Amino acid sequence: NLSIGANSVSDISGNNGPSTTTTASAVTIDNGPPIAVLTPATLKNSQSATVRLNKLGVVYLVKSTVSVATESDITSAAGNTWNSVNVTATDSDTSLSLTGLVDGTYRAYGVDAQNRLSVVSTTSVSVDTTAPSAPVSVVLDSSSDTGTSSSDGITKDNTPTIRIVASENGGTVTVTASRVFQNDVVCTVTGSTVGSTCDLSSIVDGVWTLSAVQTDAAGNFSTSVTGSMSIDTVGPTVSGVSTNSA
């Protein structure tokens, strides 16, 4: 039988063995494949997505049309359907450039130092480089039109309501009223294909040109559509009355 002490060993007869030294070793516990996190957004390919990884490694941003089971499925796909970034700090926001990517929906995958591939991110980024079409129309709204008809573009309302029909829903439509020697007056509204309205602040009498431009969620902007309106807040005057006697 042996008796083992903290730093020595001896047998039943009392013979001592060589002294021993215990050395502690660090143990790293790896809890499996990495987890990639992607901040959802709609962006142009001149911008960057924001990603995170819970381990050091690489994050890939991959078009949803690419079938991914291994890292090589990503790197062998067309170059305009994926980009990547090295992650040098865990669980920290990292910018991933969208340069060169075609329009579409993208999701993130992570690969750690052991070359293990994460599951796909639960969120996505839309790459959008296509400008919306110009709005369909921009006119003085019938609620503000006080002319001889409700659609003649004439009003005595100097804070008029403008109606815009957009080419697509969403984004922001910016309406600008302009006139020579006057400052532009602007209002904005969310784009709607069935029409939406916004109110201009106080403007002076005269004929004003209206223009409308739509900007989408990625910041692409359309060409403009134009219209016009006439503001007249001054009533007629009577210079005199004449009568004819029989």
Question: With 90 as the cut, is the pLDDT of residue 146 above it?
Answer: yes
Split at pLDDT 50, 70, 90, the class of 28 is low
Given a cut of 70, whether residue 18 has pLDDT beyond it is no
- Reported as a single tens digit per residue, the pLDDT across 180-210 is 999 999 999 999 999 999 999 999 999 999 9
Angstrom distances, CA of residue 223 to CA of 46, 134, 196, 220 = 20, 5, 18, 10
Residue 237: the pLDDT is 77
* pLDDT score at 197: 98
Predicted pLDDT of residue 125: 98
CA separation for the pair 193, 174 (Å, rounded)? 15
* Mean pLDDT, range 138-149, rounded to an integer: 96
167 pLDDT above the threshold of 80: yes
Mean pLDDT (whole number) for 75-90? 97
Percentage of the chain beyond pLDDT 70 is 85
The predicted structure's pLDDT at residue 190: 97
Q: Which run of H or E residues covers position 162?
A: strand 161-165
230, 152 contact by CB (below 8 A) = no
Provide the pLDDT for residue 243: 67
Residue type, 212: A
- In tens, the pLDDT along 208-241 reads 999 999 999 999 999 999 999 999 999 777 776 6
- pLDDT: which is higher, 11 or 153: 153
pLDDT at 19: 62
Q: Encode pLDDT of 39-71 as tens digits.
A: 999 999 999 999 999 999 999 999 999 999 999
Confidence band (pLDDT; 50, 70, 90) for 31?
confident
The percent of the chain in helix, strand and coil, each rounded to the nearest 5, is 5, 40, 60
pTM for the whole structure:
0.75
Q: How far apart are CA 179 and CA 174, in angstroms?
A: 17
**Structural tokens at position 138:** 């921009």
CB of 97 closer than 8 Å to CB of 83: yes
Phi then psi for residue 198, to 5 deg, are: -145, 155
Structure tokens at 177: 């009223």
pLDDT in tens, 116-132: 999 999 999 999 999 99
- For residue 4, is pLDDT > 60? no
